[in-house]
Amino acid sequence: MDFNLSLQIEDMNVLSEAVGIWYRHNHATPTDQSTQLLCSAAVDLYNQGHRTREELVTLLITRFDSPDSLQVNAPSSTSH
């Protein structure tokens, strides 16, 4: 099989740049949890056909309008 590795690397760069721009736009410090959430959302958007950095950034900023919007409610210690 002949894989187009350069296209895959280019795609990853677009996704990575979109997430980085989201952080800069929101003056936010990356954390493992927030990066995982943003990267997952970016991949989902990419798979839906949003292939440019500009599209991805716009949609990420719309979906996650602040660092607070990335907060995931952790279960309390009393929940089972």
Mean pLDDT of 50-65: 97
* pLDDT range class, residue 3, cuts 50, 70, 90: low
Whether the pLDDT of residue 77 is over 50: the answer is no
pTM of the model: 0.81
Give whole-number Cα distances, 63 to 54, 59, 75, 77, 80, in Å.
Answer: 14, 6, 23, 29, 30
Name the token pair of 43: 């991949």
Q: What is the pLDDT of residue 79?
A: 43
Query: Tens digits of per-residue pLDDT, 14-44?
Result: 999 999 999 999 999 999 999 999 999 999 9
Element (H, E) at 5: helix 5-25
**What's the whole-number average pLDDT of the chain?**
87
Cα gap 56→22, rounded to integer Å = 9
